[in-house]
A and B are shown apart, each in its own frame.
Chain A
Amino acid sequence: KQEVTQIPAALSVPEGENLVLNCSFTDSAIYNLQWFRQDPGKGLTSLLLIQSSQREQTSGRLNASLDKSSGRSTLYIAASQPGDSATYLCAVRRRAGGTSYGKLTFGQGTILTVHP
Chain B
Amino acid sequence: EPEVTQTPSHQVTQMGQEVILRCVPISNHLYFYWYRQILGQKVEFLVSFYNNEISEKSEIFDDQFSVERPDGSNFTLKIRSTKLEDSAMYFCASSDRGLWGYTFGSGTRLTVV
Interface bracket on A: 20 to 34
Asked whether B33 is an interface residue with its Cβ less than 8 Å from the other chain, the reply is yes
Say yes or no: B95 contacts A43, CB within 8 Å.
no
Say yes or no: B107 contacts A42, CB within 8 Å.
yes
How far apart are the CA atoms of A115 and B98 in the complex, in Å? 37
Asked whether A46 is an interface residue with its Cβ less than 8 Å from the other chain, the reply is yes
Say yes or no: B45 contacts A105, CB within 8 Å.
yes
- Nearest opposing residue in chain B for A51, CB measure: B99
- B contact residues around A100 at 8 Å (CB): 48, 50, 55-56
For window 93-113 of B, CB contacts with A under 8 Å fall at 95, 97-98, 100-107, 109
For window 61-113 of B, CB contacts with A under 8 Å fall at 89, 91, 95, 97-98, 100-107, 109
Asked whether B43 is an interface residue with its Cβ less than 8 Å from the other chain, the reply is yes
Partner of B104, one of A44, A107, A109: A44
Say yes or no: B43 contacts A43, CB within 8 Å.
no
Interface bracket on B: 20 to 34
Asked whether A103 is an interface residue with its Cβ less than 8 Å from the other chain, the reply is yes
CB distance from B25 to the nearest CB of A (A): 14
Q: Is the interface of B mostly helix, strand, loop or mixed?
A: strand
Say yes or no: B51 contacts A43, CB within 8 Å.
no
Asked whether B18 is an interface residue with its Cβ less than 8 Å from the other chain, the reply is no
Q: Identify the A interface with B (CB < 8 A).
A: 31-32, 34, 36, 41-46, 49, 89, 91, 93, 96, 98-109
| Leading 5 A-B pairs by shortest Cβ distance | A43-B106, A49-B101, A44-B104, A103-B45, A106-B43
Task: List, sorted by A's number, 27 A–B pairs whose CB atoms are closer than 8 Å.
Answer: A31-B98, A41-B89, A41-B109, A43-B104, A43-B106, A43-B107, A44-B43, A45-B104, A46-B102, A46-B103, A91-B102, A93-B98, A93-B102, A99-B55, A100-B50, A100-B56, A103-B33, A103-B45, A103-B48, A104-B33, A104-B35, A104-B43, A104-B45, A104-B102, A105-B45, A108-B41, A109-B42
